[in-house]
Chain A
Amino acid sequence: MDYSATHSGFRQQPAMRLRSLPADAPDPSPLFEDTSRVRPGAQPGGYSAQPAVPPAGAYPGQTILSDPMSNLAMAYGSSLASQGKEMVDKNLDRFIPISKLKYYFAVDTVYVGKKLGLLVFPYLHENWEVSYQQDTPVAPRFDVNAPDLYIPFMGFITYVLVAGLALGTQNRFSPELLGVQASSAFVWLIMEVLAVLLSLYLVTVNTDLTTVDLLAFSGYKYVGMIVGVIGGLLFGRLGYHLSLLWCCAAIVVFMIRTLRLKLLSEAAAEGRLVRGARNQLRMYLTMSIAAAQPLFMYWLTYHLVR
């Protein structure tokens, strides 16, 4: 069964080694499984004393694989392969921290429902603090205030598809436009995140907001944009403007209330009036981040609704 791993093609045997690994643990146990049966025949000391004479009566195709030299070669090749895989995993983990990304996807349906409701109607929610558990934030599944990446990701894709739909109803659609919409929205998102990062750096705010958090917060506006475009498709320009207005107000309130706790000092976050240039600067920063959201929402959707 191991020897068939060398066959190419679409058979499932080449993947058996992949399948025996659990989803995210780079454990080398398949390596040990594969070579433990090969090892008795692959003693390096035996080569000089042993010519590779095939036993009589063996199948011609089997002599290649029963030769101890090729056993060693296969063991070496499989160990190289798994070493390469580990190296790729390690290096990839340095640039895109997969384990940290998994935190942002630890959501469930109830959380997504509540968060979508919050994004459209944040006025009644009272407690905006993210709960912590011994210095690490709690997974989004357990705390509706924690940022996640599922909603922004799905919102982005849905926005691109709804944009294609809207253009299709005006007979302006072609499949390249899907790619154009997607890339332009993505570039605007990246520029917004970079601008926020730059301003956070300039104002020297001491916050525990990570880049991925900022990406998540910037991605929440896609929900409002989708609602606006669908309203425009169903009810015409008036419906578009009304629903977009509602969603813009909602996202401004949402962003201010969320960022206030992260950017401002504790006293100011509680609403007490704190004088001082630094606090004023932070308040302006929060306001401008929140005010940028409706601008982006309008900019990315007005050409979709005629």
Chain B
Amino acid sequence: MAEADGSSRAFLGLSDVSISADIPVEGDISMPPTSSSKDDGFSTLDEPVKDTVLRDLKAVGNKFVHVLYPKKSKALLRDWDLWGPLLLCVTLALLLQGGSVDSKDDGGPQFAEVFVIIWFGSLIITLNSKLLGGTISFFQSLCVLGYCIMPLTVAMVVCRIVLLGGSGTVSFVVRLVVVCASFGWSTFASTAFLADSQPQNRKALVVYPVFLFYFVIGWMILTFAPAQ
């Protein structure tokens, strides 16, 4: 009732202003220039390219640090970007080249296959999480999953170094330990971010496909054998 009174009062106020047709209405409707301190975002057109690149690199590096020490922080989720996952995916796919799984094949997984597995797997996990009623958006989830591949990429580098020294049982055991540790780390890091978006009784349901995803990547890393 108060609102109706208020609106009727407003109409009352307006109704005694008369605008006759012969009084021209004029004014200036251009936007006042906003100061640069308020609108930092769009003035990036004018800064040197080095600043833009460095700022993005800093953001990416910051997220790598977050993956290394996974605490329940919202930074990865809030400022998602896909540079880091792209970089990690390309590095991992390149490192997985040049292996021989079978004498008939001409190598391990091809570059495109690794790419497709990683991105398709992330898509399925995100779809599952959204269908289960999660509050995380599509790109945020892709960002988290991509960044958490980092421990596995590090394990791949270590495995390649270990394989330089020969591929006997000792090296296999070392590689197994390294890959298992990094697989556990990846899964733990991504659940620290992803499972927060689900209620308690569904966390395990979201974690299971993540576990499968990193298991597949870890399996690809472990079965990598360099061409003789």
B148-156, B161-169, B170-178, B202-210: which lies at the interface:
B202-210
B5-13, B14-22, B123-131, B182-190: which lies at the interface:
B123-131
- Mask, A56-71, CB within 8 Å of B = 1, is 0111011001111001
Complex: A7 Cα to B42 Cα, angstroms: 8
- Mask, B24-50, CB within 8 Å of A = 1, is 001011111110100101111110000
Interface-central residue, B30, B39, B124, B134, by most chain A CB under 10 Å? B30
With A10-B83, A15-B139, A157-B124 in contact, do A4 and B41 touch (Cβ < 8 Å)? yes
**Are A105 and B31 in contact, with the CB atoms below 8 A?**
no
Kindly list chain A residues whose C-beta atoms are within 8 Å of the C-beta of B3. Answer: none
**Are B133 and A102 in contact, with the CB atoms below 8 A?**
yes
Interface residues in A172-203 by Cβ distance below 8 A to B read 173-176, 178
With A49-B26, A68-B29 in contact, do A23 and B134 touch (Cβ < 8 Å)? yes
A41 at the interface (CB under 8 A from B): yes
- Mask, A98-139, CB within 8 Å of B = 1, is 000110011111101000000000000000000000000000
Kindly list chain A residues whose C-beta atoms are within 8 Å of the C-beta of B130. Answer: 23
A32 at the interface (CB under 8 A from B): no
With A18-B137, A110-B201, A175-B109 in contact, do A55 and B32 touch (Cβ < 8 Å)? yes
**Are A66 and B30 in contact, with the CB atoms below 8 A?**
yes
**Are A12 and B80 in contact, with the CB atoms below 8 A?**
yes
B110 at the interface (CB under 8 A from A): yes
Prevailing SS type, chain A contact patch: helix
Kindly list chain A residues whose C-beta atoms are within 8 Å of the C-beta of B41. Answer: 1, 3-4, 7, 13
Q: Work out how many contacts link A and B, with CB atoms closer than 8 A.
A: 126
Return the contact of A10 from the options B56, B133, B204 (Cβ within 8 A).
B56
B51 at the interface (CB under 8 A from A): no
Look across to chain B and name the residue whose beta carbon is closest to the beta carbon of A68: B29
CB A229 to nearest CB in B, in angstroms, measures 15
With A23-B137, A66-B31, A109-B204 in contact, do A7 and B46 touch (Cβ < 8 Å)? no
Return the contact of B212 from the options A59, A106, A161 (Cβ within 8 A).
A161
Look across to chain A and name the residue whose beta carbon is closest to the beta carbon of B110: A175
Kindly list chain B residues whose C-beta atoms are within 8 Å of the C-beta of A19. Answer: 137
CB A170 to nearest CB in B, in angstroms, measures 11
**Are B132 and A61 in contact, with the CB atoms below 8 A?**
no
Complex: A41 Cα to B31 Cα, angstroms: 6
**Are B202 and A108 in contact, with the CB atoms below 8 A?**
yes
**Are A150 and B205 in contact, with the CB atoms below 8 A?**
yes
Sample of 8 more A-B contacts, CB < 8 Å, known A105-B128, A168-B219, A175-B117? A6-B42, A12-B80, A15-B80, A58-B33, A62-B33, A65-B31, A66-B30, A66-B31
Binding site for B on A (CB under 8 A): 1, 3-4, 6-7, 10-13, 15, 18-19, 23, 40-41, 43, 46, 49-50, 52-55, 57-59, 61-62, 65-68, 71, 101-102, 105-110, 112, 150, 153-154, 157-158, 161, 164-165, 168, 171, 173-176, 178
Binding site for A on B (CB under 8 A): 26, 28-34, 36, 39, 41-46, 56, 78-83, 101-102, 105, 109-110, 113, 117, 124, 128, 130-135, 137, 139, 201-205, 208-209, 212, 215-216, 219-220, 223
Question: 21 A–B contact pairs at CB < 8 A?
Answer: A3-B39, A3-B41, A10-B82, A12-B79, A15-B137, A23-B133, A23-B135, A54-B30, A59-B33, A61-B42, A61-B43, A61-B46, A65-B31, A66-B32, A102-B131, A105-B133, A108-B205, A158-B212, A164-B216, A165-B219, A168-B223
